Amino acid sequence: MSDYVVRVLEEDEKHAAQTVFRGSLHHPPSTDEEWEHAADGYPARRSFGAFRSGRIVGSAQSFGSAMVVPGGKVLPLAAVSRVGVRADHTRRGVLTELMSAQLRQLRELDEPLAALHATESVIYGRFGYGVATRGRTVEAESTRGRTLPPMPSSGEIRLLEPDEMMTVLPGLYERIGLRRPGMMARPESWWRMVVQRRLSLKEHLTVAVHSGPDGDDGFVAYQTSVTPPSEDRTLTVQDLHGTSLGVVLDLWRFLLGVDLVRSVSAWLRPLDEPVELIVPNRGECRTTALGEETWLRLVDVPAALAARSYGDADPVVVEVHDRFLPENAGSYRVGPEGVERTDARADLELPVDALAMLYLGDVSASVLATTGRLTAHDPDALLRADRLFTTGAPPWSGTFF
91 is in an annotated binding site: yes
95 is in an annotated binding site: yes
Q: What's the gap between Cα 202 and its chain centre? A: 26
Pick the closest to residue 376 from 336, 346, 335 (CA basis): 346
92 is in an annotated binding site: yes
Q: Hey, is 266 helix, strand or coil? A: strand
The residues that are catalytic are 124, 401
Q: What is the largest CA-CA distance in the chain?
A: 69
94 is in an annotated binding site: yes
Q: Hey, is 349 helix, strand or coil? A: strand
Query: Quick one: 372 exposed, middle or buried, by C-beta within 10 A (0-12, 13-18, 19+)?
Result: exposed
31 is in an annotated binding site: no
Pick the closest to residue 42 from 20, 74, 75, 23 (CA basis): 20
Pick the closest to residue 400 from 243, 142, 193 (CA basis): 193
Q: Hey, is 392 helix, strand or coil? A: coil
**Residues paired with residue 137 on neighbouring β-strands, in sequence order:** 289
96 is in an annotated binding site: yes
93 is in an annotated binding site: yes
Binding residues: 83-85, 91-96, 119-120
Binding residues for acetyl-CoA: 83-85, 91-96, 119-120
